[in-house]
Structure 1
Amino acid sequence: MKIRKPQPQAATSLDRAPRDDESHRMRTYLLTMGVRTLCLVLMVAVVPYGWYTFVFALGAVVLPYIAVVVANAAQSTQVTHAQAPERPALPAAPTQPEPTTPGVFRISESTADGAENDERDDRA
């Protein structure tokens, strides 16, 4: 059985920034209201009147409602299960085996001329 490692949470799974969401909704609203204004102008300007006049009128009446509903609907990309970020496990530091026998340290004193002072060892 293969154990799945938890993947870190991607930055793309975060919500859209409020500033970006607002500018997107504003552009959508202005585009829809521009189409509505075009429908109003075409409804009056296109002569002879016919079935398309009613289509333009319907667009001029319905598009404001659609524009407001779409502009007020925030982009909902919320992550339902956010993952807690985990740090990758670092490899264990290599350990050196402990010596089985204690080491012996020898300390010898020497005089200023570099010769060892054996007299002290005999007196003590």
Structure 2
Amino acid sequence: MKQQSITSLPASPEVERRNRMIKYSIAMGIRVVCIVLMLFVHGWWLVVCAIGAIALPYFAVVVANVKIAPRGAEVIRPGSVEIYTGTESRTSDDEVK
């Protein structure tokens, strides 16, 4: 059975949580700007700022919680017969280099 290398491991929970909080905080900062701008703009700009202030919380949560897998990451499933890597597949009986 092939062991995980340290470079193929995902980010630690603390790093992942920090990255999600940064994305969420940026989106909420933009929302605050939209709310403040609603006090000063008129016409269509008021509608744009209102839509931003209303829709950004939903999108901020969705974007902050999306996990992006690294490209070409190897997936090892315990008890599985096949090991999938990127675009090629091989059986566990094949020689692993």
Q: TM-score range by the shorter chain?
A: 0.5 to 0.7
* Higher-strand-fraction structure: 2
- Percent of paired sites with the same residue: 42
Q: What residue in structure 2 maps to residue 57 of structure 1?
A: 50
Counterparts of 1:80-95 in structure 2, within 5 Å, are 80-82=74-76
Between Structure 1 and Structure 2, the one with more helix by share is 2
Q: Aligned partners of 2:68 and 2:58: how far apart in 1?
A: 20
More contact order relative to length (CA 8 Å, sep ≥ 6): 1
Q: CA RMSD in A?
A: 2.6
TM-score, length basis structure 2: 0.63
* 1:33 aligns to 2:24 (yes or no): no
Aligned equivalents of 1:81 and 1:61: distance in 2? Answer: 39
Superposition misfits of 4+ residues, deviation over 4 angstroms: none
Q: What number of residue pairs does the alignment pair up? A: 74
TM-score (norm 1): 0.51
How many Å apart are 1:50 and its aligned residue?
Answer: 1.2
**Structure-2 separation of matches of 1:42 and 1:22:** 30
Structure of larger gyration radius:
1
